[in-house]
Amino acid sequence: MSATNLLPVDWLYELAVFPLPRVVFFPGTPLPLHIFEPRYRALMRDCLKSGRRAMAVTLLKPGYESQYEGSPEMNLVCCVGRIEQHEELPDGRFNLVLRGLARVRLHELPAGELLYRRAHAELLDGKLNSERVARDALTTLVSTASLVGTVVRRSHPDFSLGVLPDDPPHQVADTLADRLLADPEARQDILETLDVPERIRKLTGYIAGLLGQLDSQHAPRGMVQ
């Protein structure tokens, strides 16, 4: 089922926004969240009550700390996710899992009397030129990621890259970015790269850099200058 089947267009006209520090969300991936702030508890209750079981999760820009309780600057390209699971705790907090559906560009709306932020969300094409991805480029990406996975499994035996043989190139890239990139700026860069061949090129570079760091950390003493 496509993202548009799971994301009714009318939901995009007035979408709840959950800005977070250091969190970049990708289509096709799960995002577990624990909601405890009063404004985001209100967001969850409104989403569930209205039947609009979706929200945009976006990365706050550097310097947000001094304005966190207000409306700090946020990245406008982000991912919208559907509420896949939720649990309201006795004290009003929520545990939930979002499933990433699509890249969007936010056009913020006046908050009015609401405690949380809202936006009109413009759907972006996250599959742009996916059919032009060269087989060699995709193979190089997956091979490089597999080498990182081998290193990670030395400490975390259950670690998996999470990609399947029949996954399309755009989803392979998004899944690997979610699984392997920790740096929020790198993640945001991949999220904002709509052209899939370019996304794969960038991601391969990021993962190759990560592999180099891991190799250095595991090299015998005296081999690393």
10-68 per-position pLDDT tens digit: 999 999 999 999 999 999 999 999 999 999 999 999 999 999 899 999 999 988 777 77
CA distance 202 to 213: 17
Q: What is the mean pLDDT of residues 115-123?
A: 95
Q: In sequence order, which ranges of the chain are alpha helices (DSSP H)?
A: 3-6, 38-50, 135-152, 169-180, 184-192, 196-218
Q: What is the mean pLDDT of residues 117-124?
A: 96
| CB 76, CB 106: distance < 8 Å | yes
CA distance 105 to 155: 38
Identity of the residue numbered 171: Q
Q: Does residue 121 surpass a pLDDT of 50?
A: yes
pTM passes above 0.85: yes
User: Topology of domain 3-123, per CATH?
Assistant: 2.30.130
CA atoms within 13 A on the CB side of 145: 26
Nearest CA among 55, 72, 58, 47 for reference residue 15? 55
Q: How many CB atoms lie within 10 A of CB 221?
A: 5
pLDDT band at 223 (very low <50, low <70, confident <90, very high): very low
| CB 65, CB 115: distance < 8 Å | no
Domain ranges of the chain: 3-123, 130-218
CA atoms within 13 A on the CB side of 16: 24
Pull the structure tokens for residue 122: 């413009």
DSSP state, 60? B
User: Per CATH, the architecture of 130-218 is what?
Assistant: Up-down Bundle (1.20)
The pLDDT of residue 225 is 31
| CB 124, CB 77: distance < 8 Å | yes
The pLDDT of residue 146 is 96
Is the backbone of residue 197 left (phi > 0), alpha (psi -120 to 50) or beta? alpha
CA distance 5 to 108: 24
Nearest CA among 172, 209, 37, 63 for reference residue 117? 37
The pLDDT of residue 66 is 72
Q: Does residue 1 surpass a pLDDT of 60?
A: no
Q: How many CB atoms lie within 10 A of CB 180?
A: 21
**Each residue's pLDDT tens digit, 72-99:** 899 999 999 999 999 999 999 999 999 9
Q: Does residue 124 surpass a pLDDT of 80?
A: yes
